[in-house]
Chain A
Amino acid sequence: MVGRDGEGSLPTIGAEAWESKLAATPIPKEAMNKLIMNFLVTEGYIEAARAFIKESGTEPGLDLDTITDRMEVRKAVQAGNVYSAIEKVNDMNPEILESQEDLFFHLQQQRLIELIRSGNVESALDFAEEYLAPQGEENPKFLEDLERTVALLAFEDAKSSPVGGLMDIAQRQKTASELNAAILGSQCAEKDARLPMLIKMLLWSQTQLDDKANYPHISDLVTGQLDVKAE
């Protein structure tokens, strides 16, 4: 079934042999339900989590109300209402922002970006000077980010400038994710859902095994069907 290695060519495992390997470890339904629930809850899809509790009987594993607050914060950042998000987070737990300078800086940076986006140049500059400059002075890394952000003002069309990426929605989402992770951390919950990690682990381990053997892969992650080899 599996040939000896070290002879120049890789051992090959055929489809049939592979199928029986796959069948060797059944995955309990309960474990999979938990993975799905963990995903819904970590990412903050509350209504889905609530529905899943009813439909599958799986426990959410944490207080759904804490998710509501966390999602309010996330939505606020993703909508560009950073100040509102900061207020909410401080209501939830002031220590989160107090203890994480980087995060706080990124939030303030996002506020600046939103001010610039709104076209309010004067306010933007005032804000940068009053709130961001002091942090920039203390930490050269912050200074660099600050300079890049302020540079947006130098361009007529900020979006197409070299620093235009800061204006993207993706930047808001990045900040939102960072804040989401920090809140989860403060609640002693894992900041990453397990399911994506397991999928990545599958992809990674397939790459590792490629060095050692020929075997059926899965490339279609949605259906999980084994790739059909074109012989």
Chain B
Amino acid sequence: MQAAVAALRGVAATVSPAAIPQTPSVPRPSPPSVIPPHELNVAAQSHGIEVHRDKRTVEYVGRHSADVGAIQSDHPACNNVEIYYFEMTVLEKGELGRVAIGYSPREFTLSKQPGWEPNSYGYHGDDGKKFGGNGKGEDYGPKFGKGDTVGAAYSLSTQEIFFTKNGVKLRTAFRRIRGELFPTLGLHSKGEVVRVNFGQAPFKYDIEALLCETRAARAAAVEKVPLSTPLVHSVVRQYLLHYGYRDTLNAFDSDVGSLCGTTSGNDNGPTSMAVDGDDAPGTSGGSASASTATEQQQQQQQGGVTPPWGAHWTDECALGVRQFVRQRVMAGDVAGAVGCIKATYPQILEGGPGTEVVRFHLATQQYIELVSAGSIDAAVSFAQSTLAPMQRTLAASGIGGMVAPPAVASTPAAAVPAAAAATARVPAAPPPVAPPAAAQPRSSSAAAAAGSSGQPPAASPTRTPLPPHPRGHPCHHPSEAELRDVVALIAYECPPASPLAWLLGPVQRERVADAANAALLAAARGLPLGDACTSGVERLLCQLVAVQATRYELNGSQGGAFELGEHLLSSTTNKQQQTASPMQL
């Protein structure tokens, strides 16, 4: 018996943390995989120039009639920043002062000045001209020579290149610049010496200030977008209605009404909702304030101010039921929730198409609550009666997207049908030993059960496209592997201390509540039960991410990428966050 217990425990222990689905978090900004330029690339330098030991100072030692001595940085300009910038100081002018700064592609001929070859760009000190890929220079800026520090900026977000001299920004030199470019220096007469700065020392030109200014300008542009307060209120209400937060909704209506409705004696809808001075109608003011008087009367409100939106919106359906069900689930009383659904929208529980998700969640949650409460016998019999058939359905339909650790595959999968065989053998064991005792027969009969259940424990080949919703999303279609994880909970004597502890928390309950809510919403609206169930707020945020991602792609996938996570709230309260990296827009 000890061996069997140990065996099962050992198996359970292989449910590694990797198998635990993380709460889908908004993807964090990945650390820049791009290595910034650090020093000059001495491996590929032309004749005629000599790089000093610091790998940043370079000197022309050849004869003038010899080739240009150009050299690039060791790595290309980072492409994941808004603007890449570097500087060069002219230490010695040499005979002719033909020094140049700019950018060039990887395959650049290092015997030419930057800007003389296609795809390269340069600003030349002897004549102050810019060269954009052909031999023809154009007037651009002042000449520069000994003692001057010039800078070259590659603005990836705007696809431009500009230069600076001694801390002063010159105008944009080149536009519609894309792709990988290397910071490049050029020298062409004896005695010229320059030193490059890739950020190791402070820059002469305050590039940070420019970046801050640009970001501030963008933030101001966003701030100016007209968005009426009533519209924001409608968005919030939609959210509360969608998820069934009825008390919050009522309190919200009452709070809003008391804050702004006191002065005017009338309560006719939109006019009394104008809360703030910034009353400019929102761009979608059409739908929000288009509600006619009759529509407002038709909508039966929970009391308080009539919300200003159109009658096409009917999410109040089943609000009371949804609130109740959510509340029961969050309190751990899944049975109560199920009872309510049976009494109101029984079709959800009857196993028709589109009900797999919600039935899975309700059933597994009921099981989890039983295990969590220590009612192991009840949990086992529930597993036999309800989870086992579910497992067979899932296995048969071949939906098993997640790969569970193979060691776990055999035992818990067979555990459910095996439990049926096992109950007969479980003696009346003293309570503390109950879990291992229940576990023991399971493991020993695993082999027998494997034959009797007739189900291969491994995941069957998956069908074509899995639903896009990840685990944790209420519309996510469950897999057999997830069911196995849930069932495995019983193997632990102390579930809260196990690797599956996350199943016991409020986050899991919320998933179930959201799934039930989605099904009830669909049922109340008369829609197919498996339909999409996203709230307006979620759609807005997804759209924001999609639009920004598209902008980034169309820009050549360079420049700072938009990270939604930067704009959401972290768990550290509403306190002002000292953002080290300013907002990326």
Q: Which residues of B contact A74 (CB under 8 A)?
A: 259
> With A and B bound together, what is the CA distance between A27 and B323 in angstroms?
22
Contact code string B271-286 (vs A, CB < 8 Å = 1, else 0) = 0001111010011101
B29 to chain A, nearest CB (A): 13
> With A and B bound together, what is the CA distance between A13 and B550 in angstroms?
10
Query: Given A48-B251, A213-B550 in contact, is the A38-B569 Cβ separation under 8 Å?
Result: yes
Most buried by B among A62, A189, A196: A196
Q: Which of A20, A52, A55, A201 makes the CB contact (< 8 A) with B544?
A: A201
Contacts across chains A and B counted by CB atoms under 8 Å: 257
Which residues of B256-311 have CB atoms within 8 Å of chain A's CB atoms?
256, 258-260, 262-264, 274-277, 279, 282-284, 286-288, 309
Q: Is the CB of B245 within 8 A of A55?
A: yes
For chain B, which range describes its interface: under 10, 10 to 19, 20 to 34, or 35 or more residues? 35 or more
B535 proximal to A (CB < 8 A): yes
A154 proximal to B (CB < 8 A): no
Q: Which of A31, A54, A223 makes the CB contact (< 8 A) with B238?
A: A223
B551 proximal to A (CB < 8 A): yes
A51 proximal to B (CB < 8 A): yes
Q: Is the CB of A224 within 8 A of B507?
A: no
Contact code string B222-246 (vs A, CB < 8 Å = 1, else 0) = 1101010001101110111001011
Q: Is the CB of B567 within 8 A of A189?
A: no
> With A and B bound together, what is the CA distance between A218 and B235 in angstroms?
13
With both beta carbons as reference points, the residue of chain A lying nearest to B232 in the complex is identified as A196
> With A and B bound together, what is the CA distance between A35 and B235 in angstroms?
12
Query: Given A26-B24, A48-B252 in contact, is the A54-B282 Cβ separation under 8 Å?
Result: no
B431 proximal to A (CB < 8 A): no
Give the interface segment out of B117-125, B442-450, B570-578: B570-578
B369 proximal to A (CB < 8 A): no
| Known A11-B554, A222-B231; 18 more pairs at CB < 8 Å | A20-B468, A25-B27, A26-B470, A27-B26, A32-B541, A40-B252, A55-B327, A57-B330, A169-B264, A171-B277, A189-B574, A194-B569, A201-B544, A205-B544, A218-B539, A218-B540, A219-B283, A222-B313
B536 proximal to A (CB < 8 A): yes
B247 to chain A, nearest CB (A): 4
Which residues of A1-60 have CB atoms within 8 Å of chain B's CB atoms?
2, 5, 11, 13, 18, 20-32, 34-36, 38-42, 44-48, 50-52, 54-57, 59
A: number of interface residues (CB 8 Å): 82
Q: Is the CB of B535 within 8 A of A32?
A: yes
Q: Is the CB of A203 within 8 A of B576?
A: no
Contact code string A58-80 (vs B, CB < 8 Å = 1, else 0) = 01011000000001001100110
B339 to chain A, nearest CB (A): 20
Q: Is the CB of A190 within 8 A of B574?
A: yes
Q: Which residues of A contact B551 (CB under 8 A)?
A: 205, 208-209, 212
Q: Which residues of A contact B453 (CB under 8 A)?
A: none
Q: Is the CB of A50 within 8 A of B227?
A: no
Q: Which residues of B contact A11 (CB under 8 A)?
A: 554
Contact code string A130-151 (vs B, CB < 8 Å = 1, else 0) = 0000000000000000000000
Question: What is the predominant secondary structure among interface residues of chain B facing chain A?
Answer: helix
Q: Which of A71, A79, A206 makes the CB contact (< 8 A) with B547?
A: A206
Which residues of B523-570 have CB atoms within 8 Å of chain A's CB atoms?
534-551, 553-554, 564, 567-569
Q: Is the CB of A221 within 8 A of B540?
A: yes
Q: Is the CB of B239 within 8 A of A36?
A: yes
Q: Which residues of B contact A39 (CB under 8 A)?
A: 232, 236
A211 to chain B, nearest CB (A): 9
> With A and B bound together, what is the CA distance between A64 and B539 in angstroms?
30
Q: Is the CB of A28 within 8 A of B569?
A: no
Q: Which residues of A contact B326 (CB under 8 A)?
A: 55
Q: Is the CB of A52 within 8 A of B245?
A: yes
> With A and B bound together, what is the CA distance between A200 and B541 in angstroms?
11
Query: Given A25-B27, A45-B256, A224-B538 in contact, is the A32-B239 Cβ separation under 8 Å?
Result: yes
Q: Is the CB of B251 within 8 A of A61?
A: no
Query: Given A26-B473, A51-B247, A75-B259 in contact, is the A224-B536 Cβ separation under 8 Å?
Result: yes
A195 proximal to B (CB < 8 A): yes
Which residues of A167-222 have CB atoms within 8 Å of chain B's CB atoms?
169-171, 173-174, 177, 188-190, 194-206, 208-209, 212-213, 215, 218-222
